[in-house]
């Protein structure tokens, strides 16, 4: 699909200037770009299923599944069974969802029966004519190759935050580790789903810097989730203040401008946005959402209400 002049040389200062524009100017610029390209593809619905919960060796301070924190309500589970995944995927498909994202909590992929079972799940989701997406931590080239062969469409591996702020949020890995995994995934011809989280206590410059990392990947990632922190009890960020809704809108708009052809997903944190704020996000170029009752360990916006709302505002859902 054609995209209006993609650039791969954005500077943090340029993106920060975008984020600081008067809101309506920023949203109009982003909207122009959507109208000239991405809008035609409608808003993609993505279902999310956590197929293995908790016990993760990483210490991401926003996450309830890290073994370093004691989040309430989190029970470690083994990998889901294939039949559970297939029935969830079928259910999601009935609701009109094309993309099915599976989350495995863990630092990295290791060879063995668990990875083989995940490959079976990828094959099964593909066989339903859905787009399988997986998030499973760091991996090696032979894992990516096996996933590609199994029919994986997309691998999710967020850069989370800026290079400058990274160490404040995660200490068990570096952003370089993440970028290495992303390039291994890319090399196998799997689409990249990589985005950020706002509301971690980062500055505006950090937000710009995180977007710069994504915008300077060539090619751009196909899918870019923009998350707002869901503060979970028992995690180090449990008392973090909620980001203002309009910061969310700004981040989506700036992402749309610097990543003109990517699917920009209004991801975690959508549940607490008012319908008006969500409508602004779509106007600003969001063209994907998580649809379904649950995210990984928290509730998502309620699907029936979502459906009615999307219809009301005239969002087109691709069949």
Stretches 92-100, 199-207, 222-230, 306-314: which one binds ligand DTB (CB under 6 A)? 222-230
281 is an active site residue: no
In this complex, which beta carbon is closest to ligand DTB, that of residue 21 or of residue 67?
67
Phi, psi (degrees; rounded to nearest 5) at 228: -110, 140
Stretches 11-19, 53-61, 76-84, 289-297: which one binds ligand DTB (CB under 6 A)? 289-297
265 is an active site residue: yes
In this complex, which beta carbon is closest to ligand SF4, that of residue 105 or of residue 261?
105
Q: What CA–CA distance (Å, rounded) separates 79 from 314? A: 38
| Nearest CA-CA partner of 118 in 49, 55, 61, 65 | 49
Burial of 85 (C-beta count, 10 Å sphere; 0-12/13-18/19+): buried
Among ligand SF4, ligand DTB, none, what does residue 209 contact (CB within 5–8 Å per kind)?
A: none
Among ligand DTB, ligand SF4, none, what does residue 102 contact (CB within 5–8 Å per kind)?
A: none
Binding of residue 19 to ligand SF4 (CB under 6 A): no
CA distances to 7, 193, 228, 289 from 231, rounded to whole Å, are 34, 22, 9, 19
Contact pattern for ligand DTB over residues 102 through 131, marking x by CB under 6 A? -x----------------------------
Are residues 296 and 48 in contact, defined by beta-carbon separation less than 8 angstroms?
Answer: yes
Q: What CA–CA distance (Å, rounded) separates 225 from 118? A: 23
At residue 75, the 3 state secondary structure works out as coil
Please tell me which residue in 207, 265, 270, 281 is annotated as part of the active site.
265
193 is an active site residue: yes
Are residues 98 and 130 in contact, defined by beta-carbon separation less than 8 angstroms?
Answer: yes
Q: Rounded to an integer, what is the distance from CA 242 to the centroid of its chain? A: 19
Binding of residue 306 to ligand SF4 (CB under 6 A): no
Please tell me which residue in 101, 212, 256, 270 is annotated as part of the active site.
101
Among 10, 12, 51, 137, binds ligand SF4 (CB under 6 A): 137
Among ligand SF4, ligand DTB, none, what does residue 137 contact (CB within 5–8 Å per kind)?
A: ligand SF4
- Sequence-distant (6+) residues with CB within 8 A of 2 are 37, 261
CA distances to 163, 179, 244, 277, 293 from 175, rounded to whole Å, are 6, 6, 26, 31, 31
Binding of residue 131 to ligand SF4 (CB under 6 A): no
The H or E element that residue 110 is part of is: none
CA neighbours within 13 Å on the CB side: how many for 15? 30
Stretches 28-36, 215-223, 294-302, 306-314: which one binds ligand DTB (CB under 6 A)? 294-302
Stretches 7-15, 58-66, 220-228, 284-292: which one binds ligand SF4 (CB under 6 A)? 58-66
In this complex, which beta carbon is closest to ligand SF4, that of residue 38 or of residue 154?
154
Query: For residues 222-261, which are near ligand SF4 according to CB under 6 A?
Result: none
| β-pair partners for 156 | 193
Stretches 23-31, 63-71, 185-193, 283-291: which one binds ligand SF4 (CB under 6 A)? 63-71
Query: For residues 71-130, which are near ligand SF4 according to CB under 6 A?
Result: 105
Are residues 316 and 34 in contact, defined by beta-carbon separation less than 8 angstroms?
Answer: no
Please tell me which residue in 63, 99, 178, 281 is annotated as part of the active site.
63
Are residues 266 and 227 in contact, defined by beta-carbon separation less than 8 angstroms?
Answer: no
**Residues marked as catalytic:** 56, 60, 63, 101, 133, 193, 265
- Name the residues that contact ligand DTB, by CB under 6 A: 48, 64, 103, 135, 156, 158, 195, 225, 227, 230, 267-268, 295-298
- Name the residues that contact ligand SF4, by CB under 6 A: 56, 58, 60, 63, 65-66, 105, 137
């Amino acid at each position: 699909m054609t995209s209006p002049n993609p650039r791969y040389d954005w500077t943090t200062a340029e993106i920060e200037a975008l984020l600081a524009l008067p809101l309506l100017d920023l949203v109009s610029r982003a909207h122009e770009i959507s109208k000239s390209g991405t809008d035609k593809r409608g808003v993609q619905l993505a279902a999310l299923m956590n197929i293995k919960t908790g016990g993760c060796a990483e210490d991401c301070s926003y996450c309830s599944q890290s073994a370093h924190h004691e989040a309430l309500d989190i029970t470690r589970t083994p990998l889901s069974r294939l039949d559970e995944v297939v029935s969830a995927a079928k259910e999601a498909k009935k609701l009109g969802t094309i993309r099915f994202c599976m989350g495995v909590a863990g630092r990295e992929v290791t060879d063995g029966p668990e990875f083989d079972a995940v490959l079976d799940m990828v094959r099964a989701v593909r066989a339903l004519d859905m787009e399988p997406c997986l998030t499973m931590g760091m991996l090696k080239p032979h894992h990516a190759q096996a996933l590609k062969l199994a029919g994986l469409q997309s691998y999710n591996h967020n850069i989370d935050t800026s290079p400058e702020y990274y160490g404040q949020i995660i200490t068990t890995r570096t952003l370089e580790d993440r970028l290495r995994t992303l390039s291994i995934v890319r090399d196998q011809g799997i689409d990249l789903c990589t985005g950020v989280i706002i509301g971690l206590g980062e500055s505006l410059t950090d937000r710009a810097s995180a977007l710069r990392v994504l915008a300077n990947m060539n090619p751009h990632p196909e899918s870019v989730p923009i998350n707002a922190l869901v503060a979970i009890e028992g995690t180090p960020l449990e008392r973090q203040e909620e980001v203002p809704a309009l910061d969310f809108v700004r981040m989506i708009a700036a992402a749309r401008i610097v990543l003109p052809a990517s699917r920009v997903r209004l991801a975690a944190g959508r549940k607490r946005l008012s319908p008006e704020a969500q409508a602004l996000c779509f106007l600003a170029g969001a063209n994907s959402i998580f649809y379904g009752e649950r995210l990984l360990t928290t509730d998502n916006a309620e699907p029936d209400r979502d459906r009615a709302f999307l219809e009301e505002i005239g969002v087109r859902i691709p069949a």
